[in-house]
Amino acid sequence: MASVPSLAATVNQRVADALSAALPEAAGADPLLRRSDRADFQANGMLALAKKLKGNPRELAGQVVERLNGLDAEIAEIEVSGPGFLNITVTDAAIMRTLTARAADDRLGVPLAEQPGTTVIDYSQPNVAKEMHVGHLRSTVIGDAVMRILEHRGENVVRRHHIGDWGTQFGMLIQYLIEHPHELDHKSDGQDSQGGEGSESGEAAMSRLNRLYKASRALFDSDEEFKTRARDRVVQLQGGDKETLDLWHKIVDESKIYFQAVYDKLDVEIRDEDVVGESAYNDSLQQVVADLESSGVAVRSDGALCVFFDDVKGPDGNPTPLIVQKSNGGFGYAATDLAAIRDRVGNLHADTLLYVVDARQALHFKMVFETARRAGWLPEGAARQLAFGTVLGKDGKPFKTREGETVRLVDLLDEAVQRAETVVREKARDLTDEEINERAAQVGIGAVKYADLSTSMSRDYVFDLDRMVSLNGDTSVYLQYAYARIQSILRKAAERGLTPVAQEEPALAPAERALGLHLDEFSQTLEAVAETYEPHKLAAYLYGLATHFTGFYEQCPVLRAEDARTVGNRLFLCELTARTLREGMALLGIRTPDRL
């Protein structure tokens, strides 16, 4: 395991060294090297530096050129341009050297974080007894990717699925179950009566819960006496009454069967031990309230325990408080989140808390974080909401069914897989039905994930399956095809006994250089993505990689290249591209089938 500096970093250092040799006052200055269209790189740090030192930027740049021209193993050409930029072209040998070092490393030369910390990431938090919808898709997919990217860097990541498993609605559901004890029985569901597995039993569990929900809701709304009994049941639940708790467990377990089926379909791993729902914090809520009140962070207002903020006001101009405890003594969403922060910082020793939650909850988190900070439970800046935008329909409005209902996540995933099947079937003639189904799932689910991850998370996006499963453009299918194409080249090469070997003194074609320089940017991309929690930058990098590969493939014959050394070198580029694509896609939670 060795971290490999990118060529950009190496050349930047060379220029910095030359700068400080030319001008001791310039020591430590950053030449600001960037990729460029004019040459491989351009450095424009000389401009600001010369200004600061009251010198002439072109002269300064000229001195750097003198020191580097012809004297450096990496730099083939360096020249001053414009008001004092440096245009730099690197040698082909330097490109192959850095790629060889990457290829020799399991991690493709990507460094581990120097000082890994502990991050608790709160994501994929569906609600018990309710369907999962597109909002839960985003939280799950983004959270999964961020979690993988951080773990890959060596961060200690603790996953928390803060599921909605507590609240007054459980009084209604449980009371109904007590009065209709067979409501959740596996009757009449037919297909899974022998304890079937997977999505069928998940769907069956959800339909039982739906039935329970609808029936109890109807009674709750129509029968005052039932309503009273349901409210009393909440008190029993909170008081820990055994029969009540048992039924509550039954409902939660039934929901977990359903969630798991959705997660299987989505191809994400959610571990039971990481599902720590709202109910897990029940025992610490009293303490939260007591501490907030005694420290004066929260005050009683009309009986409720509230925290006020100067900059949070309602439309009427009156301050909108965070309500920690209602006037009837009940705890809400805020109290649970505060208790969770204490647990995550105090017991799990988190340095960073991430919340992958809909942007529409931004005010809630702003107030919760500020409250925890005032209470001394949360260091300034340690918590951050990774707020995501809304999934829109083609009409540009929040995604709904034609009947105006929220779209069930499972329906949407099923449709994506179906569309993908058409695409896969068209392309692959020699695949069995079983293979087609497997590929369709990988392509369809990949398409949904990629569409979500490739736009900056704070933005809304339109859920458009036609675009998502398209073979052209910025889609996962395009990336998966690039990967599969490379695998096919590598298979053919192996059949002919040809092996990938990087050349030490190559003469690279422009498309090879472009591909090589892009491959070399993988680790710096990942570092930036992990620091800013922006998976879309990884997606953009991978799309760029596939595009560079396409250019290379069109311009540079691989197996039919002019000589054996060129064949070896091109195979090497193919293989490294495939490994980089595979690794990058895996970090986004997307599969790369070997054949498509």
Q: Would you say the C-alpha torsion 298, 300, 304, 308 has a positive or negative sign?
A: negative
User: Closest CB to ligand ARG among 143 and 506?
Assistant: 143
Q: Would you say the C-alpha torsion 405, 408, 412, 415 has a positive or negative sign?
A: negative
Least separation in angstroms between residue 358's CB and ligand ARG is 6
User: Closest CB to ligand ARG among 164 and 202?
Assistant: 164
Least separation in angstroms between residue 480's CB and ligand ARG is 31
Task: Verify binding: residue 175, ligand ARG, rule CB under 6 A.
Answer: no
Gap between the Cα atoms of 445 and 218, Å rounded: 36
Joined together, the tokens standing for residue 273 give: 């031990």
Whole-number Cα distances in Å, 96 to 74, 199, 264, 499, 561: 11, 48, 41, 16, 18
User: Closest CB to ligand ARG among 140 and 569?
Assistant: 140
Q: At what angle do helices 362-374 and 333-342 cross, to 10 degrees?
A: 50
Total residues at the site for ligand ARG (CB under 6 A)? Answer: 8
Cβ atoms of residues 289 and 335 within 8 Å? yes
Q: How many CA atoms lie within 13 A of 404 on its CB side?
A: 0
Whole-number Cα distances in Å, 164 to 136, 167, 374, 477: 12, 8, 26, 34
User: Closest CB to ligand ARG among 365 and 572?
Assistant: 365
User: Closest CB to ligand ARG among 263 and 549?
Assistant: 263
User: Closest CB to ligand ARG among 304 and 368?
Assistant: 368
| Of the residues 42, 127, 236, 454, which one makes contact with ligand ARG according to CB under 6 A | 127
Least separation in angstroms between residue 122's CB and ligand ARG is 5
User: Closest CB to ligand ARG among 355 and 552?
Assistant: 355
From the list 594, 533, 476, 525, the residue with the least C-alpha distance to 148 is 533
Burial class (CB in 10 A: 0-12, 13-18, 19+), 475: buried
DSSP letter assigned to residue 284 = G
Mark out the alpha helices in 3-116 (DSSP H runs): 7-22, 45-52, 57-68, 92-103
Q: Which amino acid is at 530?
A: A
Least separation in angstroms between residue 164's CB and ligand ARG is 4
Least separation in angstroms between residue 337's CB and ligand ARG is 5
Number of neighbours of residue 101 by Cβ within 10 angstroms: 17
User: Closest CB to ligand ARG among 346 and 473?
Assistant: 346
Burial class (CB in 10 A: 0-12, 13-18, 19+), 411: exposed
User: Closest CB to ligand ARG among 357 and 410?
Assistant: 357
Interaction residues for ligand ARG, span 268-287 (CB under 6 A): none
Least separation in angstroms between residue 263's CB and ligand ARG is 15
Interaction residues for ligand ARG, span 195-234 (CB under 6 A): none
Least separation in angstroms between residue 183's CB and ligand ARG is 24
User: Closest CB to ligand ARG among 331 and 355?
Assistant: 355
| Of the residues 357, 372, 386, 530, which one makes contact with ligand ARG according to CB under 6 A | 357
Least separation in angstroms between residue 385's CB and ligand ARG is 9
Phi (first) and psi of residue 144, to 5 degrees: -60, -45
Joined together, the tokens standing for residue 591 give: 């599969």
Cβ atoms of residues 392 and 399 within 8 Å? yes
User: Closest CB to ligand ARG among 392 and 431?
Assistant: 392
Least separation in angstroms between residue 149's CB and ligand ARG is 20
Interaction residues for ligand ARG, span 130-169 (CB under 6 A): 162, 164
Least separation in angstroms between residue 477's CB and ligand ARG is 30
DSSP letter assigned to residue 45 = H
Gap between the Cα atoms of 22 and 35, Å rounded: 24
Least separation in angstroms between residue 87's CB and ligand ARG is 50
User: Closest CB to ligand ARG among 307 and 556?
Assistant: 307
Contacts of 184 (CB under 8 A, 6+ apart): 177, 208, 209, 212, 250, 251, 254
From the list 288, 425, 276, 345, the residue with the least C-alpha distance to 119 is 345
| Of the residues 44, 119, 125, 475, which one makes contact with ligand ARG according to CB under 6 A | 125
**H helix or E strand, kind and range, residue 410:** helix 409-427
Site string for ligand ARG, 84-123 (x = CB under 6 A): --------------------------------------x-
| Of the residues 337, 452, 474, 534, which one makes contact with ligand ARG according to CB under 6 A | 337
User: Closest CB to ligand ARG among 406 and 547?
Assistant: 406
Cβ atoms of residues 335 and 324 within 8 Å? yes
Least separation in angstroms between residue 170's CB and ligand ARG is 14
Gap between the Cα atoms of 581 and 518, Å rounded: 12
First to last CA, the chain: 32
Whose tokens are 């959270």? That residue is 143
User: Closest CB to ligand ARG among 104 and 362?
Assistant: 362
Site string for ligand ARG, 285-324 (x = CB under 6 A): ----------------------------------------
Interaction residues for ligand ARG, span 411-450 (CB under 6 A): none
Least separation in angstroms between residue 335's CB and ligand ARG is 11
Least separation in angstroms between residue 260's CB and ligand ARG is 17
Query: Where on the chain is the footprint of ligand ARG (CB under 6 A)?
Result: 122, 125, 127, 162, 164, 337, 355, 357
